[in-house]
Copies of this chain bind each other. A is one copy, B any other.
């Protein structure tokens, strides 16, 4: 379940193994942070990595929580760009470190390599655009419902007749994922729980009624009907 099943990363893994060193991080390690300039991107071999922006005021926006097979730090592969986000290991994590020059050299003889990286990149691009769209069009409750479903898909495991999200997560972190405040997230989660959509305890959420939750996620914020315009 860790990797949606749709991505054939095995080949890529072999390719990377051939010319990339593996680097390891421990829980809480900062892999990089903004304004650094370096020339290495990463593909996750094992573990989880959080990408996030930090505002001057300390507010945080999480761009993604990535698992095995995901590419990140890709900006380093071309141009002179500095890092723009923080990347933090959420647990014991190992990554292939793709050094820019190495990659470009290697790509000449192994053209498929770039195509596979391109694929991973487009996947991230697609997710980012989706986030942008939701932030503008959907209200907080909808966004949170969607996020819970996404987490279920990525990290969910069925047990005792419900989908437990195997990711230690706080309300604060959820808020940072959906672009809201901790207080509002807590309120909405409690609402969901009262309605029997989810069950929760500290650091832990389980989806008890995915179908119903999906409805909440699809509904548009304010209107039930706009026949014509």
Contacts and interface: CB of A to CB of B under 8 A. Distances in A.
A59 B137 contact: yes
Given A107-B115, A114-B111, A75 B122 contact: yes
A131 interface: yes
Query: Taking chain A's interface residues, is the majority helix, strand, or loop, or is none over half, making it mixed?
Result: helix
A132 B84 CA distance: 13
A133 B61 contact: yes
A119 B79 contact: yes
B122 A55 contact: no
Nearest to A51: B129
A154 B55 CA distance: 26
A226 interface: yes
Contacts of A107: 111, 114-115
A121 B119 contact: no
Contacts of A124: 125
A57 interface: yes
A4 to B, nearest CB: 12
A96 B178 CA distance: 38
A220 B56 contact: yes
A210 to B, nearest CB: 22
B135 A58 contact: no
A135 B137 contact: no
Closest 8 CB pairs of A and B: A114-B114, A78-B119, A108-B111, A55-B137, A136-B179, A61-B136, A53-B133, A132-B132
Given A114-B114, A121-B122, A135-B135, 11 more contacts: A57-B223, A58-B229, A74-B125, A75-B126, A77-B118, A78-B118, A79-B119, A108-B111, A114-B118, A117-B118, A136-B179
